[in-house]
């Protein structure tokens, strides 16, 4: 299959074309404010099955459904509790996904067989227009092959899925660069299953009740199957240090060859290794670039500013937890 690259900035037919492909059961990748999604019509079980197939995604890892207006949630969720409306009012459109009861019209395959459904209203104008033109919600996981970092530009999508999907809508680089916050509204108090740009504090303020982070030890009890899978880590070993002093100590004891340093600021001492910027927006692009360049170690300087960013720390810790036997 030839994958079309559609650009709404230069081609007025790009989005109508993409919507037509989706309506005919094809898969189309599109930009959101977080990462690129791989979209399929939510009520088309065959299209959804193909999303799992082209990503190489385990069948029990559920997808996120994307809507273009808060009211559209009624098409995919069985009930919309008051907490839903509160959060929608404050955070939609935006990087927040809520888990609710699944509507019987949504094929179970979308939710990996669960009776719940995760949904969000993205803030990207291209995503919103595409959902509107298609006329129904779009199920869309991140548009990477399973085990690769989420794509934050159209070229990343092609790197993983060229030839396997009908089209990619090019919307340039994603503004946020890390996946949305996922919060389970069926538990009391609500629990964050995946940290993202919307924080627990922001949710708690709006809901007027505490919001906690899901703890890894409760794995067996959690309804978020995606969390049990190995998350993406680059081929390089990822090493976290928590201060510049610690970096200096590591560099004086370990001879690091073909390595890079990721840090949010300039080093306070001369550095022999290349320094790359550490920012949420570009983290996955840096990981992909390191893989292409055959980098062996990535040392990440987690300054206090970085440590305060729960979403960024979550992705960094997952990358650093890579198992040695999986390294080249």
Q: Which residues bind ligand TXA (CB under 6 A)?
A: 32, 34-35, 37, 61-64, 97, 99, 111, 114, 116-118, 122, 140-142, 179-180, 182, 193-194, 223-227
> What does 191 bind: Mg ion, ligand TXA, none (CB cut-off 5 to 8 Å by kind)?
none
Which of 181, 297 has the CB closer to ligand TXA?
181
Q: Which positions from 83 through 142 interact with Mg ion, judged by CB under 5 A?
A: 142
Measured CA to CA, the distance from residue 245 to residue 42 in angstroms comes to: 50
Strands 138-139 and 64-66: antiparallel
How near is the Cβ of 303 to ligand TXA at its closest, in Å? 25
Is 32 a binder of Mg ion (CB under 5 A)?
Answer: no
Range list of β-strands (E), 90-209: 96-101, 116-120, 138-139, 167-169, 181-184, 191-194
- Name the nearest CA neighbour of 140 among 54, 75, 72: 54
User: Hunting for tokens 């089209």 — which residue is that?
Assistant: 167
Residue closer to Mg ion (CB basis): 142 or 181? 142
**Which residue, judged by CB position, is nearest to ligand TXA in the bound state?**
226
Q: Which of the choices ligand TXA, Mg ion, none does residue 44 contact, using the CB cut-off of 5 to 8 A by kind?
A: none
Contact residues for 57 (Cβ-Cβ < 8 A; gap 6+): 51, 141, 146
* Cβ 120 to ligand TXA shortest distance, Å: 6
134-173 positions binding Mg ion, by CB under 5 A? 142
Q: Which does 111 bind (CB under 5 to 8 A by kind): Mg ion, ligand TXA, none?
A: ligand TXA
- Least gap, CB of 139 to ligand TXA (angstroms): 9
Is-contact 213 192, C-beta < 8 A?
yes
Q: Which residues bind Mg ion (CB under 5 A)?
A: 142
């Amino acid at each position: 299959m030839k994958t079309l690259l559609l650009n709404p900035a230069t081609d007025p037919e790009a989005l109508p074309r993409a919507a037509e492909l989706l309506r005919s059961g094809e898969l189309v990748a599109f930009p959101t404010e977080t990462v690129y999604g791989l979209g399929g019509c939510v009520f088309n079980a065959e299209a959804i099955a193909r999303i799992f197939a082209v990503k190489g995604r385990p069948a029990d890892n559920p997808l996120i459904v994307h809507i273009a207006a808060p009211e559209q949630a009624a098409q995919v969720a069985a009930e919309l509790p008051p907490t839903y409306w509160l959060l929608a009012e404050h955070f939609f459109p935006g990087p927040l996904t809520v888990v609710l009861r699944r509507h019987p019209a949504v094929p179970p395959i979308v939710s990996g067989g669960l009776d719940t459904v995760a949904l969000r209203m993205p803030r990207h104008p291209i995503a919103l227009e595409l959902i509107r033109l298609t006329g129904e919600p779009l199920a869309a996981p991140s548009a990477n092959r399973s085990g690769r970092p989420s794509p934050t530009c159209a070229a990343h999508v092609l790197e993983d899925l060229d030839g396997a999907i009908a089209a990619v809508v090019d919307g340039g680089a994603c503004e946020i660069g890390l996946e949305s916050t996922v919060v389970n509204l069926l538990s009391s108090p609500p629990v964050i299953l995946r940290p993202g740009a919307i924080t627990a504090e922001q949710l708690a303020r709006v809901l007027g009740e505490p919001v906690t982070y899901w703890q890894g030890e409760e794995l067996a009890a959690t309804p978020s199957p995606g969390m049990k899978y190995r998350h993406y880590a680059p081929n390089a070993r990822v090493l976290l240090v928590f201060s510049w002093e610690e970096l200096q100590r590591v560099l004086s004891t370990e001879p690091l060859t073909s390595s890079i340093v990721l840090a949010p600021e300039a080093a306070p001492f001369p550095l022999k290794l290349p320094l790359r910027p550490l920012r949420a927006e570009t983290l996955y692009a840096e990981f992909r670039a390191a893989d292409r360049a055959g980098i062996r170690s990535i040392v990440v300087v987690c300054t206090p500013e970085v440590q305060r960013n729960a979403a960024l720390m979550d992705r960094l810790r997952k990358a650093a937890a890579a198992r040695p036997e999986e390294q080249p």
